[in-house]
């Protein structure tokens, strides 16, 4: 059975836009809150001693600095020209 729906044009799209905008703001707010909670957790863990970290079962070496490779701009060009 076929049905017919009446669309008023612009008014229907405005509601969709407002709804999509509200969802976007909610997701941005949730992402911000998640990052904030993560930063608070890291600050709290950094304030604990090694013995306290062992007491709560947290891997002690997880908070230590990890080696980082820094690549200067133009390295790929230099490497390709050496072929």
Report the C-alpha gap between 28 and 22 in whole angstroms: 10
* Averaged confidence pLDDT in the chain: 80
Residue burial 24-62, b: 16+ Cβ < 10 Å; e: rest: eeeeeeeeeeeeeeeeeeeeeeeeeeeeebeeeeeeeee
| Per-residue confidence (pLDDT) for residue 30, from 0 to 100 | 94
37-60: pLDDT as tens digits: 999 998 998 888 888 888 888 887
| Per-residue confidence (pLDDT) for residue 29, from 0 to 100 | 94
């Amino acid at each position: 059975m076929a049905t017919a729906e009446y669309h008023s044009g612009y008014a229907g799209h405005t509601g969709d836009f407002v709804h999509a905008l509200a969802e976007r703001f909610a997701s941005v707010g949730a992402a911000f809150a998640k990052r904030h909670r993560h930063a608070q957790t890291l600050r709290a863990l950094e304030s604990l001693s090694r013995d306290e970290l062992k007491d709560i079962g947290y891997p002690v070496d997880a908070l230590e600095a990890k080696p980082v490779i820094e690549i200067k701009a133009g390295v790929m060009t230099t490497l390709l020209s050496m072929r």
